[in-house]
Amino acid sequence: MIKANEKNKIVEQFKAYLKAHNMRCTPTRLRILDFCTIINPPILFKDLAERAKKERICTQTIYDTINLLVDADIIQRITLQGKIKEAYSLTTDTRNKAKIICTRCGRVAEFKDLTITDRLLSHRYNNFNMAYYTITVYGHCKVCRKLLGETIKDGWSDDHRK
Ligand SMILES: [Zn+2]
């Protein structure tokens, strides 16, 4: 779930993208975007399909709209258990933040690390002007590591993000 003002920004971003590409802003396309903002991350294709089915939106329309949303930089494909293309997360809320995704259960967490930002800004990148960055870190969360029988050392608890 995201805040109302963030959602409005995303809707406007999508409308602008459709207009720029001479595509119609249909209620169905907006509805699928709506699903993406309602579903707790990760946004799984099957969850989108389930919601869409109830509203008689066909699978092809979901595929097409997802591709548009990825292209418009509103959602990004994420990898879960080595499978790409089936899971997504909103990109806008992770700008200049790093996202941690558990590839086993799909749990998503975020952290902001100013040293990463400083480091990126200190580079020149061939005169490229950085507008923002996104970082996605994949691995296993604490709960999954316990289930997998791994030993958890304290000191790298959820508090490390503060
Ligand atoms: Zn997990």
Q: How far is the CA of 121 from the centre of ligand 1 (A)?
A: 32
Alpha helices in the chain (DSSP H): 4-20, 27-38, 45-54, 59-71, 114-122, 142-147
Q: How far is the CA of 139 from the centre of ligand 1 (A)?
A: 8
The ranges of the chain annotated as CATH 3.30.1490.190 are 95-162
The better pLDDT of the pair 57, 134 is held by: 57
What CATH number is given for 95-162 in this structure?
Answer: 3.30.1490.190
Q: What is the pTM of this model?
A: 0.66
pLDDT digits (tens, 9 = 90+) for 116-158: 877 877 777 777 777 777 788 899 999 999 999 988 775 444 4
Computed on alpha carbons and rounded to an integer, the radius of gyration of the chain in Å comes to 18
Q: How far is the CA of 56 from the centre of ligand 1 (A)?
A: 33
What CATH number is given for 1-93 in this structure?
Answer: 1.10.10.10
Q: How far is the CA of 98 from the centre of ligand 1 (A)?
A: 17
Q: Which of these, 9, 19, 21, lies nearest to 33 by C-alpha position?
A: 9
pLDDT digits (tens, 9 = 90+) for 88-109: 888 865 667 788 889 888 888 8
The ranges of the chain annotated as CATH 1.10.10.10 are 1-93
Report the range out of 29-33, 101-105, 157-161 with the highest average pLDDT.
Answer: 29-33
Rounded Cα distance, 162 and 159, in Å:
6
